[in-house]
């Protein structure tokens, strides 16, 4: 079944990109909006990432910039994507620079909040 294949592909990509079990993400939405979890797996991780021409580092840089610009509403996703960016090979310095550069348009408070989240993720993540 095509929908099941997309869902399975999305879960595989989610786990590969984020290093987080897809079941943990899906379980967090199970009682409130399970269809949202499925949508994210199928659309974002199977469809969009499956067809992008961006390499993993550039894709994660875009995600960090977009989440930084969104501010507090994207804090949880930013935390996840900073981890994904590290997994993709972006350096801590590059991640910080993306937050600072995004602050030119999004504002200093958004950049500072993103840098605080980045610092927390860096502290939780061993350097390679």
pLDDT in tens, 74-120: 999 999 999 999 999 999 999 999 999 999 999 999 999 999 999 99
Answer yes or no: is pLDDT of 128 > 90: no
Tokens standing for 49? 């990432």
pTM metric for this prediction: 0.88
Phi-psi region of 19 (alpha: psi -120 to 50; beta: other; left: phi over 0): left
The CB-side HSE value for 58 (13 A sphere, CA atoms) comes to 5
Q: Please state, in angstroms and rounded to a whole number, the distance separating the CA atoms of residues 5 and 57.
A: 26
pLDDT in tens, 26-84: 999 999 999 999 999 999 999 998 888 999 999 999 999 999 999 999 999 999 999 99
Percent helix, strand and coil across the chain, each rounded to 5?
A: 85, 0, 15
- Whether 88 contacts 60, CB under 8 Å: yes
């Amino acid at each position: 079944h095509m929908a099941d294949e997309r869902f399975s592909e999305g879960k595989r990509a989610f786990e590969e990109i984020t290093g987080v079990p897809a079941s943990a993400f899906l379980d967090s939405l199970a009682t409130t909006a399970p269809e949202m979890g499925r949508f994210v797996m199928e659309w974002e991780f199977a469809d969009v990432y499956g067809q992008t021409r961006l390499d993993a580092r550039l894709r994660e840089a875009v995600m960090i910039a977009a989440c930084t610009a969104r501010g507090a509403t994207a804090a949880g996703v930013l935390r996840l994507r900073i981890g994904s960016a590290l997994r993709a090979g972006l350096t801590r310095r590059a991640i910080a620079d993306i937050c600072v550069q995004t602050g030119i348009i999004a504002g200093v408070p958004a950049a500072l909040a993103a840098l605080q989240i980045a610092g927390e993720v860096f502290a939780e993540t061993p350097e390679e």
